[in-house]
A and B are shown apart, each in its own frame.
Chain A
Amino acid sequence: MYVYDQYDHQMLAERVEQFRDQTDRYLAGKLSDAEFLPLRLQNGLYIQRLAPMLRVAIPYGLLSSRQLRKLALIAREYDKGYGHLTTRQNIQFNWPELAETPDILTHLAEVEMHAIQTSGNCIRNVTTDHYAGVAADEVEDSRPWCEIIRQWSTFHPEFAYLPRKFKIAVCGTPADQAATQVHDIGVYLIRLENGEIAFRILAGGGLGRTPVIGQVIFEHVEKRHLLTALEAIMRVYNREGRRDNKYKARIKILVRETGIDEFREKAHAEWERIKGSTLTLTDAEIERCQAFFVDPDYVRRLNGSATLKEKLHGDADFARWHRRNARAHKQPGYAIVTISLKQTGVAPGDITDRQMEFIADLADKYSFGEARISHKQNIILADVEQRKLHELWRELSTQSLHTAALGLLTDIICCPGGDFCALANAKSIPVAEEIQRYFEDAAELEEIGDLQLNISGCMNACGHHHVGNIGILGVDKKGEEFYQVSIGGSSAREASLGKILGPSFAREEVPGVMRTLVDVYKAERKNGEAFLDTYRRIGHEPFKQAVYAGNH
């Protein structure tokens, strides 16, 4: 994990002081609401429906147990005892006092954390695949590159007042669990034919009102030129992105209105001007950053599989959890474990202070003191010995954290929606819960298999509904909450946007609609196809007809 040096520490401390002064001036009436707005937003502070909301960055999803304990402390002392994991590897606190936020930031700074640029029209917290560095099939670990981008984008003086927010994801795995193609900039680590590793850089992806899949701007960029290539895209966007209409201000609209070819030309022309400047990365810097992410001291030649096999035979519940929540690790004898935060009755992604401390202890005991959070709103212990999986599972079950849901219909990505968010058209958390209650049978869920369900409470799409295999969007129909359903979306490498099924549904109809969609899939699927495969083969119509048959 990256460790701050004196420069990082000093800048962070200075930032906290700066924000303390800004907050004091605001509370003293010397800064207007409008002036304080971009300043507080660049420190992650929103004014929400019920109270301020503070969004804390978890850079590319990585957390030490010490950091996790600090988040627990903040949840307990400054909030109502819980936090909410977002779809962009951040954690949100929904109930802090405005006047106390500088103190929270001081706490965070003690453990090298912050809320810098987690909102506002600036470059946001960079995200990556939550299996980075441990996935068996990875091209290269993306985390050092995320750290390089984090530093470049933090307090970037030129790009603090962009037309709109700007999100960057980096991905080094073929599966792509970072939703890279629906980011303003998506960076893939790719292996060239000559064996060298380079970057492919996409731009113009995004969700929200106008969902778009990103397009390639730079086919391949040598590693040392990464930052100049990014800076070139940013400069074209800062200059030319629309500022007259908030809904047309994202880079995806600029790319569309300029035309991809012309946009690409502009970005390349700008790149030519700055390529080779001092922003070109040095080997020393690349090595310095990579050195923070070397493998932990794995136990070599583990022969844990015998113990594991025995437990898998003897305990069906454990076996189910293992099938779903433990994934292949690059290191023999180890597994990547996902702790599901999708227990029925709890808002997806919510985590209490006690759970945070409990997971921090587990991280120390089982996974080299580190945890990760995923954009699917779960927590990962990335380096667990297989022979200890059963023991870990038993410990998890004492806190009801052993839900075997990973990748299943009930592993729902869900935004805070109308219960918390001022922008919502409709509630989202209760819809998730109703679906979870409706599909209660663990065996059936497993039989349905991989099915990503995403729910957003409005067009802003924080719940990524466009890229859910099934997506649900809250809409407002003459003051009433309705839900529009789309199918066929995916945020993986073969990214696609979901297609709307038809007229929207009342809330109580939603679980039944899910049932019908699942039934069509089960009737149509062939040899081991997942929901998305079947959809891609048979198309939209059979689903649509079944759902609207009779009652519409």
Chain B
Amino acid sequence: MPAIIKDGAILTRDRWTLLREATGPEVLQAAPGRSFIVPLDFWLSYRAQVEEYCGETGIWLDSHQTLEPIADVLAKFAVIALNFPVFADGRSYSNARELRQHYRYQGEIRAIGDVMRDQLYYMSRCGFNSFALRHDQNSELCLQAFGDFSTGYQSSVNEPLPLFRRRGGARKE
């Protein structure tokens, strides 16, 4: 299991099993009641089986995938994981923001894949609240990343207003 930071703390136990690749629903049947994070395509193909066998359901999207196919059922997922195939692929930042700001998704948004210390601050500002760290990352050092900046110019999940609406004297409309 990779080290996972969630809501600012290192998790000692994670109930989720990430199904990176899946051929068919037999993986679920082999472990009934377990909570899986399944790939989007898998969920679209085997939705009934997922609902039958999974404990809780999580889903993951690769960076090129969009939220449209599951837009109506987002609340079904306790966790939505967004993949970073390589750290320089920034598409999942947009998906995270869209989940929080447009769909008002309240569950866990987890960064998976090429997740390193130096992305964590921006990820958290886009709405990620959990991070499956790349194997070589020092999780204690990673925890410090959230304090890299004390504030930002833009709005974020924790700071719903952009700085120009927070600056002294600029509050009134």
The finding on whether chains A and B are genuine partners in a shared complex, rather than unrelated, reads yes
Query: Chain A: residues with CB nearer than 8 A to chain B?
Result: 5, 7, 10-11, 14-15, 18, 22, 35, 38-39, 121, 148, 151-152, 154-162, 235, 238-239, 243, 273-274, 277-279, 281-285, 288
Residue of B125, B148, B162, B164 touching A18 (CB-CB under 8 A) = B148
B108-122 interface with A by 8 A CB criterion:
116, 118-119, 121-122
Once the chains bind, are A38 and B150 in contact (CB under 8 Å)?
no
Please state if B164 and A35 are interface contacts (CB–CB under 8 Å).
Answer: no
Contact B173 A152 (CB under 8 A): no
- Per the CB 8 Å criterion, the residue count for chain B at the interface is 40
Binary contact track B97-138/A, C-beta < 8 Å → 1, others 0: 100011000000000000010110111011000000000000
- Chain B contacts to A: CB under 8 angstroms: 66, 87-91, 93-94, 97, 101-102, 116, 118-119, 121-123, 125-126, 148-156, 160-165, 167, 169-173
Which residues of A are found within 8 Å of B150, using beta-carbon distances?
10-11, 14
Quick check: A279 and B155 within 8 Å, CB to CB? yes
Could you tell me if B87 and A161 are in contact, using CB atoms closer than 8 angstroms?
yes
Establish whether residues B148 and A14, one from each chain, have CB atoms under 8 Å apart when the complex forms. yes
Is the Cβ of A282 less than 8 Å from the Cβ of B90? Answer: no
Given that A35-B87, A39-B118, A278-B161 are contacting pairs, would A238 and B93 also be in contact in the complex, using a CB cutoff of 8 Å?
A: yes
Within 8 Å CB of A15, what residues of B? 149
Contact A156 B173 (CB under 8 A): no
Judge whether A35 and B116 touch: CB under 8 Å.
yes
* 24 A–B contacts from the bound complex (CB under 8 Å): A7-B151, A7-B163, A10-B150, A11-B151, A11-B153, A14-B150, A15-B149, A35-B118, A151-B153, A152-B153, A155-B149, A160-B90, A160-B93, A160-B122, A239-B94, A274-B101, A277-B101, A278-B155, A278-B160, A278-B165, A284-B170, A284-B172, A284-B173, A285-B167
Query: Does A282 lie within 8 Å of B151, measured CB to CB?
Result: no
In the assembly, what is the distance between CA of A543 and CA of B15, in Å?
74
List the A side residues contacting B97 at CB < 8 Å: 158
Q: Is the CB of A282 within 8 A of B172?
A: yes
Top 6 nearest A-B pairs by Cβ distance?
A161-B90, A157-B122, A157-B125, A285-B164, A151-B153, A284-B170
Contact of A157 among B87, B151, B154, B164 (CB under 8 A): B154
Q: Is there contact, CB below 8 Å, between B88 and A38?
A: yes
Residues from chain A with Cβ under 8 Å of B163 in the complex: 7, 151
Contacts of A235 in B (CB 8 A): 94
How long is the Cα–Cα vector from A273 to B97 in the complex, in angstroms?
13
Complex contacts, B173 vs chain A, CB 8 Å: 282-284
A7, A157, A243, A282: the one within 8 Å of B156 (CB): A157
Tell me if B164 and A281 are in contact (CB < 8 A): yes
Contacts of B121 in A (CB 8 A): 157
> How near does chain A come to B151, taking the closest CB pair, in angstroms?
6
B89 to A284, Cβ gap below 8 A? no
For B123, the chain A residues whose CB sits under 8 A away are: 157
Q: Given A11-B150, A157-B123, A238-B91, 18 other A-B contacts at CB below 8 A?
A: A7-B163, A14-B148, A148-B164, A152-B162, A156-B153, A157-B121, A157-B122, A157-B125, A160-B93, A161-B87, A161-B90, A238-B90, A238-B93, A238-B94, A273-B102, A284-B169, A284-B172, A285-B165
Residue of B nearest to A161 (CB): B90
In the assembled complex, the CB of B18 is this many whole angstroms from the nearest CB of chain A, namely: 22
**Given contacts A161-B88, A273-B102, is CB(A11)–CB(B149) below 8 Å?**
yes
Cβ contact within 8 Å between B125 and A279: no
Q: A239-B66, A282-B172, A284-B170 are in contact. Are A158 and B151 (CB under 8 A)?
A: no
